[in-house]
Amino acid sequence: MRDVYVIGAGMTKFEKALETSLKELSGAAVLDALQDAGLTPDQVEAAYVGNAVAGLVIGQEMIRGQVLLRPVGIQAIPIFNVENACASASTALHLGWQAVATGIHDIVLCLGAEKLTHRDKRVGMAAIGTAVDVEATAEAAQAASEGTDGGKPRSYFMDLYAQWTKAYMERSGATPEDFAGVVVKNQHNGALNPRAQYGAELTVDEVLADREVVWPLTLRMCSPISDGAAAVIIASEEAMRRLGANGVKILASTLVSGNNHDENDPTAGSAGRAAKMAYELAGVGPEDLSCVEVHDAAAPAELMIYEYIGLAKPGEGPALLRSGEANLGGKRPVNTSGGLLSKGHPIGATGIAQICEATWQLRGQAGARQVPGARLALTQNGGGWLDDDSAAMSVHILEAVR
């Protein structure tokens, strides 16, 4: 296997962009990444395109990547349309990484794009709720998408998160204040990220006083409905040198599916397995990481993920947060981008948006949220839910090139 580098990163601002098409979002991110890598569209040898719900939201299934890439002049090459719910973009990247690592291609484009806003707000919410076995959960999803909270629609996943959160509170002693603390941290970081959808200096009390979505989750503890796209160009070392590009090295790229989460062993589920494989491939451990992006689709998830990926021991997620270690300025900042909670969560774009943040941190381009001397970054991105585990889980570890 050859070494593979991210040599270009581009993303749109994440926001509710009702009037902006998926094509426009994708085109902006791709051109941004191409420019960052110093490439023209004709130099791309293959494209891997992650999107989760365009079929349900805008009626475009089938040939999503071809439709999105044509306007920026990318055609004729192999285009792979891949889907893995909220891990769609990571899955696209994992396939692109395999193609470069094995020598099939030298320069490939990986794109994640999603449009969730719709004139009917329920459309996006209902679409997100399909990241399950819809046949088996049709009734639950229907009920949730229709909303039970004063008529406000909400994602079926927030019901799932609420359920896991209650179990987590029991086993870890986590409190609603801890979940609010995650929000305070990530909103602070988001305020420093010009591409983040939200960002503010909040207090724990303000987050707790928010509208309740489903106990114990208040509104800001849930990732928002977002539109956006993120793209990376990845390349072999030889191609990177030839192009004179500024790359970061992909030390590990892993993808697994779920097969039952074990609450007694947080590292046994899909996130734990994907992370363990990634640490082994990269030859590093959690203690070596400079910064981390995790899949905080709901605030409590961030604390659970600390445990899944070995940042904290079982039950010690809340203690890690309280220690300040995960804050900007702390020993190992988590979700410097603002995370899904503050940066936004256009679901099929999220995995590559995490890679963009890691790339910028490792190149020293993260501006006001820069982690000084960042050398190693990990990203964790999960998608869907099936039989008590994430349906898809991907972890990447990247290293700065000095």
Q: Note whether 58 binds a second copy by CB under 8 A.
A: yes
- 222 in active site: no
Q: Which is nearer to a second copy, 83 or 293 (CB)?
A: 83
> 353: closest CA among 190, 168, 147, 201?
190
Interaction pattern, residues 6-35, with a second copy; x per rule: CB under 8 A: ---------------x-x------------
Burial category of 42 from C-beta neighbours within 10 Å (exposed 0-12, middle 13-18, buried 19 and up): exposed
CA 216 centroid distance within chain? 23
Contact 207, 352 (CB under 8 A): no
40 binds a second copy (CB under 8 A): no
If the CB atoms of residues 79 and 374 are measured against a second copy, the closer one turns out to be: 79
Select from 83-91, 298-306, 308-316, 374-382 the region that touches a second copy (CB under 8 A).
83-91
Q: Under a CB-based contact definition with an 8 Å cutoff, are residues 144 and 156 in contact?
A: yes
56 binds a second copy (CB under 8 A): yes
Q: Which two tokens stand for residue 155?
A: 């994602």
Member of 79, 208, 240, 371 binding a second copy (CB under 8 A): 79
Which residues partner with 46 through β-bridges? 108
Q: How far is the CB of 109 from a second copy (least distance, A)?
A: 12
Q: Distance between CA 194 and CA 107 in Å, rounded?
A: 28
Tracing tokens 């899904």 back to the chain, one arrives at 340
Q: Which amino acid is at 149?
A: D
**Total residues at interface with a second copy (CB under 8 A):** 55
Rounded Cα distance between 359 and 9, Å, is 7
- Options 13, 31, 43, 67; binder of a second copy; rule CB under 8 A: 67
In the complex, the smallest distance separating the C-beta of residue 188 from a second copy, rounded to whole angstroms, is 32
Which positions from 266 through 295 interact with a second copy, judged by CB under 8 A?
270, 273
Q: How far is the CB of 301 from a second copy (least distance, A)?
A: 18
Indicate whether 53 belongs to the interface with a second copy (CB under 8 A).
yes
Nearer to a second copy, 189 or 254 (CB): 254
| 259 contributes a contact to a second copy by CB under 8 A | yes
Q: Does 396 bind a second copy (CB under 8 A)?
A: no
- Listed in sequence order, the DSSP H helices in 283-369 are 299-308, 317-323, 339-343, 350-363
* Shortest distance (Å) from residue 335 CB to a second copy: 24
Give whichever of 71 and 330 is closer to a second copy, judged by the CB atom.
71
Site string for a second copy, 97-126 (x = CB under 8 A): -xx--xxx----------------------
| Least Cβ distance, residue 218 to a second copy (angstroms) | 26
Nearer to a second copy by Cβ, of 346 and 383: the residue is 383
By beta-carbon proximity to a second copy, the closer residue of 56 and 204 is 56
Interface region with a second copy, contact rule CB under 8 A, candidates 66-74, 224-232, 236-244, 299-307: 66-74
DSSP element (H, E) containing 111: strand 107-115
* Residue 85 three-state SS: coil
CB 350 within 8 A of CB 295: yes
Pair of tokens at residue 102? 């094995």
Q: Which is nearer to a second copy, 31 or 268 (CB)?
A: 268
Closest by CA position to 27, among listed 60, 58, 69, 59: 69
- Catalytic member of 295, 345, 356, 396: 345
Phi, psi of 252 (to 5 degrees): -155, 145
Instruction: Decide: residue 307, CB within 10 A, 0-12 exposed, 13-18 middle, 19+ buried.
Output: buried
Q: Which residues, 297 to 326, sit near a second copy by CB under 8 A? A: none
Strand order from edge to edge, sheet including 291-293? 46-50, 107-115, 227-236, 4-11, 248-257, 389-400, 376-386, 291-293
Applying CB under 8 A, among 16, 20, 38, 66 the residue interacting with a second copy is 66
Of residues 132-191, those binding a second copy (CB under 8 A): 132-135
Q: How far is Cα 266 from Cα 140, in angstroms, rounded to an integer?
A: 26
- Would you call 345 a catalytic residue per the annotation? yes
Q: Which residues are annotated as catalytic?
A: 86, 345
Binding stretches for a second copy (CB under 8 A): 21, 23, 52-53, 55-56, 58-64, 66-67, 70, 75-85, 91, 94-95, 98-99, 102-104, 127, 130-135, 255-259, 270, 273, 383-384, 386-387, 391-392
